[in-house]
Amino acid sequence: MKENNEVIKMKNVLVVGGGGREHAIIMKLAESKHVDKLYCTPGNAGISKYAECFNVSATDIDGVVALAKEIKPDMVVVAPDDPLVMGMVDALQAEGFMTFGPKANAAIIEGSKVFSKELMKKYNIPTAFYEVFTESEKAIAYLKKQNSYPAVIKADGLALGKGVIIAQNEEEAVQAVHEMIDNLKFGKSSARIVIEEFLTGPEVSVLSFTDGKTIVPMISSMDHKRALDGDKGLNTGGMGTLSPNPYYTEEVAKECMEKIFIPTMNAMNDEGRTFEGCLYFGLMLTPKGAKVIEYNCRFGDPETQVVLPMLDADLYEIFEAVYNHELDKVDIKWHDGSCACVVMASGGYPESYPKGIEMNGFDEKGQVEGCFVYHAGTKLSEDGKFLTNGGRVIGVTAKGETLQKALDNAYGGVSKIHFDNAHYRKDIGQRALKALD
């Protein structure tokens, strides 16, 4: 620090993960007045233009701890669910590193649906009615007795976002139960299942910063989970997002703060599992009020891609405040206008798809003018070309004074980028625009 208290960029940060969410976190940290050098592991082609990348996998706890000891960052941000649930933050803190992300005993809020459902029941947090099963005969007998479809069947543990089946009839429900419990479709994650009531209403994602004492909801967002236009096709990790979500009015926000956000933070404290990090609320605005569909113990992907560009504050300062339990001292503001993200995926996603296809239209940093292009599944060829390397390839993101302008800007970016068999939804934001009418 200089004598006149002028801040000089001197902090080095390691981000663990390698998708669009991590790219968005890195580009926001790059704006911080504190951050000097950014590292990422494993990163991707787009991230490598902003951060030095390493070959250590995001789930390799010993490897990440060893890497941190070598490069000595001032802070390590653990972004994906698996390493958080596996205890990477605990392992890093044990070596004295400042971290952002919950410890394993709090990450269980995403790691076990049974845990989260029991938490909500115990603390009266609104959610769908449910039962837990470990034996398929009992689960099937329950389904037959309820005889109510669609039925929602969820694997207890992490399942790459694919552990939720909405069964339209008894046949589909029985098949899902057998696949999960008897055939362990998601390994031990589906040895236990939750069967819950089917809820209806618009969905809203609300990410929040919390240090266990204060909870600050971020600007709301809307995901588009299905692969095809008109919300058809298979469920994916998310084909596009926008922010803010027009269904999330001030009145709904107040209700959620009082009945869901603060009670959840307090419940985790009461359980001796203080949550420090980004707590994600997947909400459904049902005719009977807002209910929790799911908790995530991390930034959502691709929600982060439309939330962080709207943040009018220093992300490094927020992360540091969460670690020091001083979140109440930070002024967190949001930009006016809207932000939209259109995911360009490989043809065939979310089923099988090719990798290694050359991409065109980028500048040397993997960007296009007027947009933030957050890379998810990309790599560089030996001669420096951008190649596809995953199902969701990039999230083309743009801001605008209105949602329509943000969407026009994002789709304008999409039209400049080409790779064979690229697949993207043409209707991101259409439902939200209708809600604004």
Where does this chain bind ligand GLY (CB under 6 A)? 161, 223, 238, 296, 300-301, 303
DSSP string, 53-100: E----TT-HHHHHHHHHHH--SEEEE-SHHHHHHTHHHHHHHTT--EE
DSSP string, 169-205: SHHHHHHHHIIIIIS-TTGGGGSSEEEE----S-EEE
Residue span binding ligand AMP (CB under 6 A) among the ranges 13-21, 158-166, 170-178, 410-418: 158-166
Shortest separation between residue 240's beta carbon and ligand AMP, angstroms = 14
Query: For residue 363, which phi and psi values (nearest 5 degrees)?
Result: -80, -175
Please confirm whether the linkage preceding 244 is cis (ω < 30° from 0): yes
Q: Which does 129 bind (CB under 5 to 8 A by kind): ligand AMP, ligand GLY, none?
A: none
Q: Binding of ligand AMP at residue 325 (CB under 6 A)?
A: no
3-state SS assignment for residue 124: coil
Shortest separation between residue 304's beta carbon and ligand GLY, angstroms = 8
Q: Which does 196 bind (CB under 5 to 8 A by kind): ligand AMP, ligand GLY, none?
A: ligand AMP
Shortest separation between residue 134's beta carbon and ligand GLY, angstroms = 25
The answer to whether residues 391 and 332 touch, using CB atoms and an 8 Å cutoff, is no
Shortest separation between residue 416's beta carbon and ligand AMP, angstroms = 31
Closest CA to 16 of 362, 63, 335: 63
Q: Which does 152 bind (CB under 5 to 8 A by kind): ligand AMP, ligand GLY, none?
A: ligand AMP
Q: 295: which 2 tokens? A: 């908790």
Shortest separation between residue 303's beta carbon and ligand GLY, angstroms = 6
Largest pairwise CA distance in the chain: 73
Q: Binding of ligand AMP at residue 294 (CB under 6 A)?
A: yes
Q: Binding of ligand AMP at residue 196 (CB under 6 A)?
A: yes
Burial label, 160 (beta-carbon count in 10 A; 0-12, 13-18, 19+)? exposed
Please pick, from the candidates 52, 118, 170, 203, the single residue that binds ligand AMP as defined by CB under 6 A.
203
Q: Binding of ligand AMP at residue 301 (CB under 6 A)?
A: no
Shortest separation between residue 201's beta carbon and ligand AMP, angstroms = 9
3-state SS assignment for residue 426: coil
Q: Binding of ligand AMP at residue 129 (CB under 6 A)?
A: no
Cα dihedral: 52, 110, 346, 233 (round 10) = -170
Q: Which does 199 bind (CB under 5 to 8 A by kind): ligand GLY, ligand AMP, none?
A: ligand AMP
Q: Give whichever of 156 and 294 is closer to ligand AMP, judged by the CB atom.
A: 294
- Per-residue b/e over 309-323, b at no fewer than 16 CB within 10 Å? bbbebbbbbbbbbbb
Shortest separation between residue 152's beta carbon and ligand AMP, angstroms = 4
In angstroms, the CA 333 to CA 28 distance is 14
Radius of gyration (Cα) for the chain, nearest Å? 21
Q: Give whichever of 207 and 327 is closer to ligand GLY, judged by the CB atom.
A: 207
In angstroms, the CA 377 to CA 217 distance is 29
The DSSP symbol for 6 reads -
Q: Binding of ligand AMP at residue 161 (CB under 6 A)?
A: yes
Residue span binding ligand AMP (CB under 6 A) among the ranges 61-69, 198-206, 375-383, 410-418: 198-206
Q: Binding of ligand AMP at residue 164 (CB under 6 A)?
A: yes
The answer to whether residues 303 and 239 touch, using CB atoms and an 8 Å cutoff, is no
In the complex, which residue's CB is closest to ligand GLY? 300
Q: 68: which 2 tokens? A: 């941190």
Q: Binding of ligand AMP at residue 152 (CB under 6 A)?
A: yes
| Cα separation values, 273 from 105, 109, 296, 379, Å | 6, 9, 15, 38
Q: Binding of ligand AMP at residue 292 (CB under 6 A)?
A: no
Q: Which does 233 bind (CB under 5 to 8 A by kind): ligand GLY, ligand AMP, none?
A: none
Shortest separation between residue 205's beta carbon and ligand GLY, angstroms = 7
Q: Which does 300 bind (CB under 5 to 8 A by kind): ligand GLY, ligand AMP, none?
A: ligand GLY
Q: Give whichever of 300 and 366 is closer to ligand GLY, judged by the CB atom.
A: 300
Q: Binding of ligand AMP at residue 293 (CB under 6 A)?
A: yes
Q: At how many degrees (to 10) do helices 104-111 and 113-122 cross? A: 100
Q: Which does 29 bind (CB under 5 to 8 A by kind): ligand AMP, ligand GLY, none?
A: none
Shortest separation between residue 194's beta carbon and ligand AMP, angstroms = 9
Contacts with ligand AMP by CB under 6 A lie at 128, 152, 161, 164, 166, 196-199, 203, 225, 282, 293-294
